[in-house]
Amino acid sequence: MTTIRDVAREAGLSTGTISKALSDPKSVSPKSYAKVEAAIKKLNYKPNMLAQQFRAKRSNTIVVLVPDIANLFFAKVISGIEKVAHEQGYNVLLGDTRDTAKREESFIRMVETKLADGIINLRPYKEGDSPLPRDGIVSVSASSCENTPYPSVRIDNVDASYRVMQHLLSLGHKRIGVITGLEDNPHTIDRLKGYKKALAEADIEFNEELLVEGDFCYWSGLNASEYFTRMDNPPTAIFSMNDEMAIGAIKGLLEKGYKIPEDISITGFDDIDVCKYFSPAITTVAQPAEKIGIKSAELLFDLLSDKKIKQLEHILPYEFIIRNSTAAVKP
C-alpha cells in the first residue's frame, strides 16, 4: 500500500511538504505542487482525507442551500460556486431545502458538528423565517434581497422590475398583468415594489385583479395564463417574475389562440438559456447568475480565512434584454 513517504520519495520532497500540498495546495509553490501531483498519479496514492481534515480542523467542504434543486437559474449560481470551491480545494455539498427553514436547519447542523466549514444560502433572507445568520456559522446569502443582515450578493430587484415595466409602458401598455412568486417571498416583494413604482409614475392605479400569485415554477405560469384569458378584459401585457413562469404562460396563451406578442406581450426574469431559443424569444432581465455564485464563494472563503470584509452587501449589475415576446399595444 502506497504511503505518504513513498510519495515524498518519488517527488523528492519532504513528507511535510506533501501533507501541506494535500491540505492546502496554495501553501506550496506551483513547481512543488506539480511534483506532488505527478508522484500521486504515478503511484496511484489515495490520501486519508479524514485524517487530514481532523489534523487541519477543517472538512474542506461547504454547503450550498438550494430552495429548488431543479431551478435552472440556481444551476448557474451553483456553477459559479463550484468553480471557486474547486480552485480552493473544497468540495461542494448541495442541500435541497425545498424552500423551508426546517430543512435548512439539518444542513446548518453539519457546520455546527464540523462536517462542513461554511454555508452559501440561495434562499433570500426572510425576517422571522431564516435560521441564518447565526453565531459560529460562517455564511453568505447569494441571490439575496434588500436588508439582508449578513454578507450577501444580489442584483437590485426593485430597479430591474421597474425597468421591465418602463419598457412595457413605453410600448403603450397600460393594463399590465403580473405573475408573482409566493407573496411572502422577498424576491416577490422587491419586484412588486418596482412594478408598483412604475405604475404610480405613469399615473396608473394598481389593480389587484391583474396580480396572480405563482411559485416561480412552470405550472404556475400556465395556470396564470388560464386566469388571464378568462377575464372579460385581459391584460395587453404580462410581467412574469421569472422565466419559467413566463414560458408556462406563453404556452397557455398560445394554446388558447393568442399570438405573442401581437395579442399579449410577455416578459420574464433571470434569462435562463432557453429564453433565447424559445419561440418567441423572451424579453427578460439577465441576472449574472454565475457571477453571483463566484462572488458569493469568494466572500465565503474570505470569511473562512478570517479576512476582514469591508463590504457586506454586493449589488451586481443586471442587463435588460429586449427580444421578440414584447411589442407595441394594438391600436
CATH number reported for the structural domain that contains residue 255 in this entry: 3.40.50.2300
At 20, which CATH number?
1.10.260.40
Check whether residue 237 and residue 279 sit in a common domain: yes
Across the beta sheet with 313-315, the strand order is 91-96, 61-66, 118-121, 139-142, 152-154, 313-315
Evaluate if residue 5 carries a pLDDT over 50: yes
Could you tell me whether strands 284-286 and 319-321 are parallel, antiparallel, or unpaired per DSSP bridges?
Answer: antiparallel
Q: Beta partners for 266?
A: 238
- Answer yes or no: is pLDDT of 54 > 50: no
| Residue at 42 is within a domain | yes
- Kindly report, residue by residue over 133-152, the tens digit of the pLDDT: 999 999 999 999 999 999 99
Number of domain units in the chain: 3
Domain-ending residue, one of 55, 77, 97: 55
One domain, residues 150 and 295: yes
Q: With a cut of 60, say whether residue 212 has pLDDT above it.
A: yes
How many separate helices (H) and strands (E) can be counted in the chain?
A: 11, 12
Question: Is 147 in the same domain as 44?
Answer: no
Mean pLDDT in residue range 29-40: 89
Structural domain ending residue among the three candidates 55, 70, 89: 55
Structural domain contains residue 264 = yes
226 within some domain: yes
Q: What is the mean pLDDT of the chain?
A: 93
At 46, is the pLDDT very low, low, confident or very high (cuts 50, 70, 90)? confident
In a domain, 325, yes or no: no
Domain annotation covers residue 120: yes
| Mean local confidence (pLDDT), 37-42 | 89
- Residue 191 sits in the same domain as residue 238: yes
* Whether residue 65 is found in the same domain as residue 29: no
Whether residue 172 is found in the same domain as residue 269: yes
Prediction pTM value:
0.83
pLDDT tens profile 284-325: 999 999 999 999 999 999 999 999 888 999 999 999 999 999
pLDDT beyond 70 at 255: yes
Question: Residue 281: which of 317, 241, 325, 238 has the closest Cα?
Answer: 325
Query: What residues make up the domain containing 18?
Result: 4-55
Average pLDDT, stretch 164-174?
Answer: 98
What would the mean pLDDT of 74-92 be, rounded to a whole number?
Answer: 95
DSSP per position, 168-209: HHHTT--SEEEEES-TT-HHHHHHHHHHHHHHHHTT----GG
Is 59:93 a contact under the CB 8 Å cutoff?
Answer: no
Residue 327 lies in a domain: no
CA atoms within 13 A on the CB side of 74: 24
Q: Specify the pLDDT at position 26.
A: 74
pLDDT at 28: 85
Name residue 154's beta-bridge partners.
315
Residues 283 and 308 both lie in one domain? no
Task: Indicate whether 150 and 199 sit together in one domain.
Answer: no
State the average pLDDT over residues 62-76. Answer: 95
87 with 29, same domain: the answer is no
Domain-embedded: residue 305? yes
Q: What digits encode the pLDDT tens for the residues 180-195?
A: 999 999 999 999 999 9
* CA–CA gap between residue 295 and residue 79 (Å, rounded): 12
307 domain-assigned: yes
Task: Note the pLDDT of residue 2.
Answer: 82
Residues 293 and 228 in one domain: no
Q: Are residues 16 and 42 in the same domain?
A: yes
User: Is residue 107 over pLDDT 90?
Assistant: yes
Q: Are residues 224 and 240 in the same domain?
A: yes
Give the mean pLDDT of 151-180.
98
